Amino acid sequence: MRPYFCIFVITLYLFGIQSCKRQSQSSANDEPATDRLLKTETITVKSNPTVVSLLSYGLSDYCHNNRCIYSYNYKEHAIDILDLKTDTVSRSISLESEGPNAVMRELHGLQVYSPDTIVTYDFVAIKIIDSVGNVISKIELPDNCFSRIDCNVRSNISDFKIDMDNHTILYPIKQPGKNEIIEYDFAEKSVVNHIALKNPIHEGYYGFMDYPNVSFYKDCIIYNYPFEANVYIYDRKSDSTRMISPKSKFTDNRIKEYDGKSVEELSWYGASNCFYSPLYLIPGKDCFVRITLGETSLDKSDNIDKAYYDRPIYFMTFDNEFKVIDEFEIERNRYNTFAGWCPLYDRIAFFQENACDPQNDIDRLNVEMTRPINAFCVAFMGRFSMSFRIECLKS
């Protein structure tokens, strides 16, 4: 019986390979890549009639404690809260512009540690507010250090890291001819450490994209320059830096230098070239995601803002050792390309608002959440992911 059983198993194995091969070929020929990669479930979320929410947001953070997305509403100077437990835009935290609880327009940094510990950066100071907007703590950064905490796809996206136990904050600064991370002791009001960042491989002038993107992971500082694909990982324990050069299937690994002469040309330079985002941690999947904005297909006869919205969005995933898992393009002319995304616990959210979308609904806020699977499953099964779309309907 054993020889016959072996022949039977081998036959099934070969049949499975051929079936998978035919299915793969059929999928490759008949289906767009994004259809194979994304499965979408739509959920309707009612907004609060007292909240004048935006159609999308360019600065957001996620709090896993209460499963809420906190998004800065620049028009209302407020932080809108999207509750993923109840499928509602639950409420808004109004920010004061003067007085003891003042948080200046406009926010450049936002981190949510808990519903009562919301950290903001308004280009003047780090301010920690509670759930109703009262400033409970304020950290004034040194005047002689030009902070590059920001969330702007025209220049850079950089975060900060606060250690409450040791009363220090790590954040990027720009010095003449160099970029650094400084460690600032806000109790003693002194800089206790300077960490020099390596210059990019391709030095030159790239318009407003002169500053690095910076994120933090455990004892590592992860940074990259928006105009090239290289990523640098600085380990604070070993005081060493390693560089990875992830290869994209869609874009070149660097953009051309800026050689224009006018402000208009400088604006179009940003839309006509790639922007590489920082690496975002997806903790529930123990992986990282990088968003790359591609080149617009429009020319200078079109509106410049529309040209930015026209840019394709590429989604690259990395494992926890910074090895590339996969990359794919998400649907074009659908999402907010002005940093309209937010990493969550086990997925990343994209706000659905795009001026180039002929079906763009100006009366509702849409959020699509794409969840990458872990590296082992991708390597074994091929390129798959699961996504959920949340549609927030205005009352």
Q: Which two tokens stand for residue 227?
A: 């105009």
* φ/ψ (deg, to 5) at 232: -115, 135
**38 class by beta-carbon count within 10 Å (0-12 exposed, 13-18 middle, 19+ buried):** buried
Q: Which of 143, 151, 154 is nearest to 72 (CA)?
A: 151
Q: Which residues contact 39 (CB under 8 A, 6 or more apart)?
A: 385, 386, 387
The Cα–Cα gap between 90 and 78 comes to: 13
Q: Which helix (H) or strand (E) holds 71?
A: strand 68-73
The Cα–Cα gap between 28 and 354 comes to: 28
Supply angle C-alpha 65, 283, 161, rounded to 5.
75
Give the pLDDT confidence of 21-49 residue by residue, as tens digits. Answer: 433 333 333 334 444 444 444 455 567 78
Q: What is the pLDDT of residue 71?
A: 95
The Cα–Cα gap between 240 and 42 comes to: 45
What does the DSSP assignment read for 155-178? S-EE--EEETTTTEEEEEEEETTE
Give the pLDDT confidence of 72-92 residue by residue, as tens digits. Answer: 999 999 999 999 888 788 899
Residue 167 pLDDT level (bands cut at 50, 70, 90): very high
* φ/ψ (deg, to 5) at 268: -70, -25
Give yes or no for residue 128 having a pLDDT over 90.
yes
pTM of the predicted protein model: 0.85
Task: Compute the mean pLDDT over every residue in the chain, rounded to the nearest whole number.
Answer: 84
How far CA 280 is from CA of 116, 158, 271, 379, in Å, comes to 24, 11, 22, 21
DSSP 95: P
Q: Which two tokens stand for residue 163?
A: 């250690």
